[in-house]
Amino acid sequence: MAFNSVLRRASKSLLPLAIRAVGTPRTFHRAIPAVLSVENLRDFLPSSHFSTAATALKPTADENLIRVLGTEIECVEEPHDVENISNEFPFKIKDNPGERTILLSRKFQDETIKIEVDMPSISDDDDNDDDDDAKDADVSSIPLVVSITKGSGQYMEFCITAFHDEISIDSLSIKNLENSDELAYEGPDFNDLDENLQNAFLKYLEIRGIKPSVTNVLFDYMANKDTKEYLLWLKNVKNFVEK
């Protein structure tokens, strides 16, 4: 009885204070939601009700991604450095891990020859779809950009598509070293040139080392590099997610 009396007296003494804090008795009931805000409720409810739902998905998704990346890394065959490049291969190879291209270079008489080699690409040869005796429709090729420089000033640039046992010139142009950002006129479509002129350009490149026997070595080298770069990419992504 004494305890209940104390509670009644306490509630009566606190009620005017609450009314004064929020306004008139008519506004008291409307003020209750503002007083009992979410921040106040956090003091009464377990914190896990607010934190668990917001953070549970992220670790689960990250752990799953890390697991799948690890499985893919294990499935990728460990590439090896290409060791069967002949001493007769005329170019020096500059291969930086993490880059999709390599750079070949050599000196030929008074010329400096550089070749940027990109990853092999696969295209569908639709012309062979109806030919039962045709070879595989997937045709692999390597894009090359060849620059031939004589001293300073101008240089000649060839854009080339290298196939197995064949080289195709797509375009050629004369550019200036000092104004390399200018859009140079690249001449007519190479296939529109006189056939004798086309063959003369192909011979011009051949004696400088740009020929099928060289580009076929690049097919194996770039295929191996593609695997190496993919494996390195997987490991870099996994390491980032694990941080």
pLDDT band at residue 236, thresholds of 50, 70 and 90?
very high
Strand partners, 171: 159
pLDDT band at residue 178, thresholds of 50, 70 and 90?
confident
Prediction pTM value: 0.67
Predicted pLDDT of residue 69? 94
Measured distance CA(50)–CA(140) in Å, rounded: 56
pLDDT band at residue 121, thresholds of 50, 70 and 90?
confident
Q: Of residues 122 and 227, which shows the higher confidence score?
A: 227
What integer is the mean pLDDT of 8-34? 45
pLDDT band at residue 87, thresholds of 50, 70 and 90?
confident
Q: Which domains does the chain have, with CATH numbers?
A: 16-54 (no CATH), 92-238 (3.10.280.10)
Predicted pLDDT of residue 51? 52
Predicted pLDDT of residue 175? 86
pLDDT band at residue 102, thresholds of 50, 70 and 90?
very high
Measured distance CA(117)–CA(115) in Å, rounded: 6
Predicted pLDDT of residue 25? 45
1-5, 71-75, 183-187: the lowest-pLDDT one: 1-5
Measured distance CA(11)–CA(86) in Å, rounded: 97
Q: Could you write out the DSSP letters of every residue in 99-153? A: -S-EEEEEEETTEEEEEEE---EEEE-GGGTT-TT---SEEEEEEEEEEEEESSS
Predicted pLDDT of residue 46? 53
